[in-house]
Amino acid sequence: MLTDPLRIPADVWSDRVVCELLSRRDIGGLFCRLIRLTGASQTRIGAAVGLEQGYVSRVLGGRKITSIEVLERIAKGLDMPDESRVALGLAPTRWPCHHDMARPAEQRQSDTPVDRRWRDDLRAAVRLWEGDVNRRDMIRQTAFASSSYTLPALRWFTAPSGPPVNASGRRTVGQPDIDTIREMSATYRRLDNQYGGGHVRDTVARYLHQEVTPLLTDGQYDTRTGRSLLSATAELTQLAGWQAYDLAEHGIAQRYLTLALDLARAADDAGLGAEILAAMSHQATYLGQAAIGIDLARAARQTARRVGLAVLAAEAYVMEAHAHATARDEGACATALHQAERTLDRADRSGNPQWLSYFDEAYLSAKFAHCFHALGKASPAERFASRSLNMDERYVRGKAFNLALLASVQLRRGEPERACTIAAEALTLTAQLRSSRAVRYVRDLQAQLAPHRTRPVVRQFITRVDTALGTRR
């Protein structure tokens, strides 16, 4: 019936193409995409948004819509979520329109986040896992947007406590179920470090969808058990996001990390929340979004301090330092690195959670090296990159990263042949991994060495990269 509401699946609004169309205010393209995704006719679209079919046809033909009144009617008729309204240039319906990322963090934190309940977060997570496992295009093609990290981080600090986390389903959930999820997380994390995110990324998504979803949606648990269950789920969801990030699936990684943060908030697990914020900062900086990387690192640090996790606070400092280095702010970078060293010196590691075990002296040295390398300071970069190789051999991907970093530093120091020798070790490890980040570092080295290809050693390395990696980019 034309009078019935037009039902658009929630995942449509995170579709990469839809997001791009909204940002360009391309309503004709939006209508065309909705028709393709939902099967609705022009008449059906028109009825939903209060426009004649002929007008819809002209919009599909290229007519531009600039009237805010008409855009509001379309947004309301399509029941757009606030994030989509903002992308279209309209005010959100549930929080004040102070979404500009260019404003200072202090001002942005006065915004009021959407009041989400834990069941809303749960439903969103279940939809994501299901769509990911079923390889739905609207999820798999999600694009990364730095502004999409603003609201979850703000919600982390300011959202009020929701209703108790309990349920009265048919299946009793107990500590053994939670322990199993944590054991699986530890196993998947070990495989991720040893073989790369692509080795078990799909397996983790299936485990969340097939094993964890029934516990959450059909389980019977009290508040204490419910919080533990959400915490364990958030930890595994964060790992899934990290693996997607390692595979350069940045949009879907962002969705996983965002939902992991919301689940950690519902579980009242501030330590895990700080770790997730640090991971979000890591991704943003990697993608060149230094400003959001700095904000997220500071949010992680404040949270880590609140719960007394000094090691995690030190990690947040180095994440902030790396973002400052990416922005070429040498003074702020130096300050953050100094604070990271001081904080780590005072840290008591005895009470650290298992998921924080990777942060050690080698990891810290690698981050220092990245910072100095980004700032063009080859001598300290070489010193710290060399130190970073004194590491736990189980972190194979991390060693590939650190070798590639040291090779890049040697090249900057004017030692292309020495760089090739070190890069050859990185290539050997990278060829065994399923990690787009590792491949990117080696390919970047290959490109940087190209001006020196008249040297036999360099030419041999460039050829070896193509042989080992083939078409991998």
Report pLDDT digits (tens) over 95-136: 433 333 333 333 333 344 445 688 888 998 999 999 899 877
Q: Other C-beta atoms within 10 Å of 207: how many?
A: 20
- E-state strands within 126-234: 167-168, 171-172, 219-221
Q: What is the largest CA-CA distance in the chain?
A: 73
Residues 452-473 pLDDT 10s: 999 999 999 999 999 999 877 6
Residue 29 within any structural domain of the chain: yes
Give the model's confidence band at 139: pLDDT under 50 very low, under 70 low, under 90 confident, else very high.
low
Residue 434 within any structural domain of the chain: yes
More confident residue, 92 or 335: 335
Q: In the chain, what is the straight-line distance between the N-terminal and C-terminal CA atoms, in Å?
A: 49
Residues 12-66 pLDDT 10s: 887 778 888 888 888 999 999 888 888 888 888 888 887 878 888 888 988 888 7
**Residue 381 pLDDT exceeds 70:** yes
**Residue 82 pLDDT exceeds 90:** no
| For residues 217-224, average pLDDT | 95
pLDDT at 198: 94
* DSSP-derived secondary structure for 322-390: HHHHHTT-HHHHHHHHHHHHHHHHT--GGG--GGGTT-SHHHHHHHHHHHHHHTT-HHHHHHHHHHTTS
Highest mean pLDDT (candidates 70-74, 344-348, 355-359, 409-413)? 409-413
More confident residue, 165 or 51: 165
Strand order of the sheet with strand 171-172?
167-168, 219-221, 171-172
pLDDT at 5: 56
Residue 273 within any structural domain of the chain: no
Beta bridge partners of 360: none
Residue 225 within any structural domain of the chain: no
pLDDT at 116: 64
| For residues 360-386, average pLDDT | 95
Residues 398-442 pLDDT 10s: 999 999 999 999 999 999 999 999 999 999 999 999 999 999 999
Q: Evaluate whether 319 touches 281 at the Cβ level (below 8 Å).
A: yes
Apex 97 CA angle, 69 and 306, nearest 5:
160
Final residue before a domain boundary, out of 93, 120, 138: 93
Residue 168 within any structural domain of the chain: no
For residue 221, the SS3 value is: strand
Cβ neighbors of 160 (< 8 A, separation 6 or more) are 115
Residue 28 within any structural domain of the chain: yes
Cβ neighbors of 229 (< 8 A, separation 6 or more) are 165, 173, 177, 178, 181, 215, 216, 219, 221, 267
pLDDT at 103: 37
**Residue 368 and residue 362: Cα distance in Å, rounded?**
10
**Residue 4 pLDDT exceeds 70:** no
pLDDT at 107: 36
Final residue before a domain boundary, out of 61, 93, 125: 93
How far apart, in Å, are the Cα atoms of 439 and each of 196, 391, 392, 449? Answer: 11, 21, 21, 15
Q: Which amino acid is at 67?
A: S
Average pLDDT taken over every residue of the chain: 88
pLDDT at 110: 37
Final residue before a domain boundary, out of 93, 126, 152: 93
pLDDT at 398: 96
**Residue 1 pLDDT exceeds 70:** no
**Residue 7 pLDDT exceeds 50:** yes
- Residue 142 corresponds to which tokens in the numbers above? 């999600």
CATH code, domain with 434: 1.25.40.10
| For residues 381-403, average pLDDT | 96
Share of the chain above pLDDT 90, in %: 63
CATH code, domain with 59: 1.10.260.40
**Residue 240 and residue 365: Cα distance in Å, rounded?**
26
**Residue 336 pLDDT exceeds 90:** yes
**Residue 265 pLDDT exceeds 60:** yes
Residues 171-207 pLDDT 10s: 999 999 999 999 999 999 999 999 999 999 999 999 9
pLDDT at 109: 39
The parent domain of residue 367 ranges over 360-473
- Total domains in the chain come to 2
Residue 302 within any structural domain of the chain: no
Residue 397 within any structural domain of the chain: yes
